[in-house]
Amino acid sequence: MAPVLVTGVTGFVGAHLAARLVELGREVRVLVRDPARLPDAGWVEHVEVVRGDATDAASLERALDGVAVAHYLLHAMSDGDDYAAADREMAQTFAAAAERAGADWRLVYGGRQRTSMAFTAELAGYGGEQVDLRTDDGVGPIDVARLVQQSEGAKVFACGPLGLLDALEAAFDTAGRSDDLHLERFSAAAKPLPGDGTFRVNLARTGGHVDVPPGQSVLEALRAAGVDAPCSCEQGFCGTCETRVLAGEPDHRDDLLTEAERARGDVMMPCVSRSKTPELTLDL
Ligand code: FES
């Protein structure tokens, strides 16, 4: 069986995808700049690690050699004004290398009208089988039911308006494929809800604790107590702050975890999620 290449495995979506593919018995290859930054997780010992950089053609050639499918889950981390340009260039370098290596991918790109869509020029060279351009004033909007059917056996990554993401979520749930769908939502941070109370977070590694009042996130309470915890979006959609839960029941308010992951309750996003139990113990 040809391997599946996953990039971005130091991020939330990439790590979860790699773990799931390993669980499904797929041969998985990962491309990382620094193998020391791979997550401390069981799936890591079952994957082939290629050390390299997605902006470097030689690394990409090694990583893409003989793969069946390549998942591109990267974005440029830059403080400069050229953030978007760097992102675009990296995506184009990867797409061109994947194309040369014969890897399988498909893009469904929707918008109101062609003239308002940013990447039509870059995508013009691909055939309709690979890039399905759907505009409201052309072939019509994205057909969610059809997308579910056509993506059988594949993973689907989507970002876009909330209505589309909700429709995709419902359709994949109905098809029993919620684990195949990964959404990137850009929505407002969760607001305190009526009934939110104070709870205690125990810190398993250091032995301390912090109390989290209503109106303050776990992450804010940790920071105020001088506890270093990774974060990025602080809105529950990027996964950077994902933390292991060792005891207690989280009240999940993120946009990332699947229903199965919520039910397991062994991880949470402390930037937005709270606690259903008076105390939570986190792996911090
Ligand atoms: S910081 Fe992005 S999900 Fe918590």
pLDDT tens-place values along the chain, 284 residues long: 688 899 888 877 788 888 888 988 889 999 998 888 888 888 999 999 999 888 888 888 899 988 877 877 776 555 455 666 776 777 778 878 887 887 777 888 888 777 777 778 878 878 777 888 888 778 888 888 888 888 887 878 888 777 788 889 899 999 999 888 887 776 655 567 777 899 999 999 989 999 999 989 999 999 999 988 887 778 887 788 889 999 999 999 987 888 888 899 999 999 999 999 999 999 99
Residues 6+ apart with CB under 8 A from 221: 201, 210, 211, 212, 213
Residue 96's pLDDT is 81
If one residue of 269, 282, 284 were mutated to test the ligand 1 pocket, choosing by the most ligand atoms within 8 A of its CB, it would be 269
Residue 99's pLDDT is 78
The answer to whether 281 and 246 have CB atoms below 8 angstroms apart is yes
Ligand 1 atom showing the smallest separation from residue 256 Cα: 3
Residues with CB under 6 A from ligand 1: 231-234, 236-241, 254, 269, 271
Is domain 199-282 classified as CATH 3.10.20.30?
yes
The string over 163-178, giving b where at least 16 C-beta atoms fall within 10 Å of a residue's C-beta and e elsewhere, is ebbeebbebbeeeebb
If one residue of 185, 228, 234 were mutated to test the ligand 1 pocket, choosing by the most ligand atoms within 8 A of its CB, it would be 234
Rounded distance between C-alpha atoms, residue 239 and residue 254, angstroms: 9
If one residue of 240, 253, 274 were mutated to test the ligand 1 pocket, choosing by the most ligand atoms within 8 A of its CB, it would be 240
Rounded distance between C-alpha atoms, residue 192 and residue 194, angstroms: 7
Residue 74's pLDDT is 73
Is domain 1-102 classified as CATH 1.10.1040.10?
no
Ligand 1 atom showing the smallest separation from residue 254 Cα: 3
CA of 239 from ligand 1 middle (Å) equals 5
CA of 15 from ligand 1 middle (Å) equals 15
Domain range list for the chain: 1-102, 199-282
Residue 207's pLDDT is 92
CA of 1 from ligand 1 middle (Å) equals 35
For residue 205, what are its two tokens? 């590694």
Q: Which residues are bridge partners to 119 per DSSP? A: none
Rounded distance between C-alpha atoms, residue 142 and residue 146, angstroms: 9
Q: Tell me the H-state helices in 126-208.
A: 144-150, 162-174
Instruction: Identify the CA nearest to 218 among candidates 193, 241, 247.
Output: 241
CA of 10 from ligand 1 middle (Å) equals 14
For residue 31, what are its two tokens? 């491309």
CA of 230 from ligand 1 middle (Å) equals 8
